[in-house]
Structure formats: C-alpha cells, structure tokens
Amino acid sequence: MTAASPILDIQDLRKSYGANEILKGIDLAVHAQETVFIIGPSGSGKSTLLRCCNRLETPDAGTVTVDGVDLGDPRTDINAMRRRIGMVFQSFNLYPHMKAMDNITLALRRVSKKSRADAEVLALAALERVGLAEKRNAYPAELSGGQQQRIAIARALALEPKVMLFDEPTSALDPELVGSVLAVMSDMARAGMTMVVVSHEMRFARDAADRVVFMDHGVIVEQGSPGEIFGQSQHARTRAFVSQLER
C-alpha cells in the first residue's frame, strides 16, 4: 500500500429501500488525517452513506474499503473491522445500564480481548482525551447530553480506530452544550484522526474541515474546501442550501 492510498475508499455505492433509491452511485475517498464534512438537506442520503461505511446498512452495489480491506468481502471479519471504524450517533446510544467506564471497556474486553485492567487503562486514557475522567463511575442518566456524547466519543476512541464517523453528533444537544463536543472533535482533528462528519455546524466546518462534500438526492453534487463550498459555490443547489443554514 502506498502512502497515498486512502483510509476510506467508497466506490459506486448504491442503496435503495424498495423503490426509493437513497444512494445513486457515490464515490468518495478519505485520506489519512483528513477531516471531511458531509452536508446536505435531510433525505439526501448522508446518514445512509455513513452507515454503509461500517455496514450497519448493507449496500446494494459498490464497495467500501477501509485501510485496504473490502468490507463487503465475505471473508472479512466485520466485527474486527468495526473496531477500527469508530461511530458516534446523533442520539449518543450509551448503554444506560452501565457506568461510563463499562460503556467503554465492553468492546475492549469482548472484541479486543483485553483484560479488565488493560481495558480500564485504555478507557481512562480515552476519558481523559474527552475531558471526563472524573465521570468514569457515572451512569449515562447522571450526565448532561454533551457529557454523554463525549463519553460516546471516548467509547469509539478507546478502540483506536483508523477512521471516525460522526452522524449529526450535536443535533440532539441543547445549544449551550454543543461547544464542548465540538471542542473534543477539534482536538481529535488536530491530533491527526481521520474523520467523516455529517453535521450542519457550519462555523465549525469552516474551522475544522479539510474538505466539504455537498450531497443531494443520493448523489455528491460537489466537493471542495470550506471556502469554496460556503463562499463561492458554482452550484445553485449548494448555494440555496448554504444560505438556508446561514439564516
């Protein structure tokens, strides 16, 4: 593998639900340490695209390759791969019956086969990265939405993923809690994590994104630097969408 080969490589990805074609042939390559934002109106297929990247959805056609491994290959151990593909959900999806620490160590112990002690060391490091080490014994219900989302990020981080997928990570949060989550994400981007983010946080995208992808009706309409997409887009659809966000 050459240094230039992408961490995440999506080729001609297609997905339909019944007669409704959600993804109409998506090509996207994300390179190491890149932060890519995917924006677009609801129903444009952004979330489905993200969920195909760790096979929570099974695509109808096309390939998704992560770190050189074709996820659709029947010989691929998908659970071993998912460990390498972190995902953060809009609704956090923390396990409510487990403390923050146990939320993080579960996969370390069951998938990475680490001892409890080793898993806790890794989990604590992840908790420190999101600034919540002191909440390790809290249950999700005792935490604010922003804290829950940061724990969810730590849960993915602890598995040392090659790439992190964020599915609208701040849209379920009260406005005053958004900042803490975005700060954690900025730190990760700066530290060199490869990230694919579905989000409408424009200001944040402007600062953190290396590239912005605009999707509509199941296709990638255009992509470019934040300046190009938010500033002087050539496409009327992009401009219309961006101006809506700014309001």
Partner 1 sequence: MDAFIEQFFNLGVMAKAFPLLMRGLGMTLLICLAVIPLGFVGGLLVALARLSRSAMLRISVRILTDLFRALPPLVLLILVYSGLPFTGIRLSPFTAVCIAFFLNSSAYYGEVLRAGVESIGSGQWEAARSTGLSGRDTFLFVVLPQAVRNVLPDLVSNTIEVVKLTSIASVVSMTELLYSADMARSITFNASPVVLAGLIYLVLLWPAVRLASRLEHRVGT
Distance of alpha carbon 186 from its chain centroid, rounded? Answer: 13
**Residue 62 Cβ, how far from partner 1 at the closest point, in Å?**
20
Which residues in 153-172 contact partner 1 (CB under 8 A)? 155-156, 159
d(Cα 130, Cα 47) in Å, to the nearest integer?
Answer: 24
Q: Please, which residue, 80 or 240, has the CB nearer to partner 1?
A: 80
User: Binding partner 1 by CB under 8 A: which of 79, 115, 137, 171?
Assistant: 79
x/- binding map, residues 104-133, to partner 1, per CB under 8 A? --xx--xx----------------------
d(Cα 139, Cα 35) in Å, to the nearest integer?
Answer: 31
Count, in order, helices (H) and strands (E) of the chain: 9, 10
Binding of partner 1 by 69 (CB under 8 A) = no
Binding of partner 1 by 56 (CB under 8 A) = yes
**Residue 27 Cβ, how far from partner 1 at the closest point, in Å?**
23
Q: Tell me, by CB under 8 A, how many residues bind partner 1.
A: 25
d(Cα 210, Cα 217) in Å, to the nearest integer?
Answer: 23
User: Binding partner 1 by CB under 8 A: which of 86, 140, 145, 169?
Assistant: 86
> Which three-class secondary structure state does DSSP give residue 198?
strand
**Residue 140 Cβ, how far from partner 1 at the closest point, in Å?**
11
User: Exposed, middle or buried, 20 (CB in 10 Å: 0-12/13-18/19+)?
Assistant: exposed
Q: Rounded to a whole number, what is the distance in angstroms from the first to the last CA of the chain?
A: 45
Binding of partner 1 by 91 (CB under 8 A) = yes
Those residues whose C-beta lies under 8 Å from the C-beta of residue 135, and which sit 6 or more positions away, are: 100, 127, 143, 147, 151
List of residues contacting partner 1 (CB under 8 A): 54, 56, 79-83, 85-87, 89, 91, 93-97, 106-107, 110-111, 152, 155-156, 159
